[in-house]
Amino acid sequence: MKPSKKDRKIMIIHGPNLNMLGKREPEIYGKETLGEINAKLEELAEKLDIDVETFQSNYEGKIIEKIQSASGGSGICKGLIINPAAFTHTSIAIRDALLLLDIPIIEIHLSNIYKRESFRRKSMIADVVTAQISGFGVQGYIIALNAIAKM
């Protein structure tokens, strides 16, 4: 029996300031809005016969609670894609929350964090995620969803 979409749920978490995509430094982050990115992900999820749940917050605690929700209760996730944005470089708390999960986790960044300011080159979660995608712009989210659907 083929698993239902409900049994193949992928959570996608967008960190701080990503709600401002399209307005904030489009030369670095592109011109697409977060709504447009989420729509592309939902369209791809339909083709992949999986369910996606997207979430964005500017608050570290809310992101941690969302990560924690991926491991318990109804609708347990089969994978997580996270763009922690600025929290990438500072949040041990998000790192610790990710350690609770026993599912594939892909860290995503629109820009190549390794070609930017020195403080952006360190990821606090790189050593606890399954994979990292950086520098492909919006296409990175598409790559991540295609990859995690096959994991």
Catalytic residue selected from 29, 59, 89, 141:
29
What's the CA angle centered on 85, arms 79 and 87, to 5 degrees? 95
Alpha carbons 39 and 57: distance in angstroms, whole number: 18
Alpha carbons 82 and 56: distance in angstroms, whole number: 10
Alpha carbons 39 and 66: distance in angstroms, whole number: 20
Q: Edge-to-edge, what's the strand order for the sheet holding 105-109?
A: 51-56, 9-14, 79-83, 105-109, 131-134
Known catalytic residue at 29: yes
Catalytic residue selected from 59, 89, 109, 114:
109
List residues with catalytic annotation. 29, 109
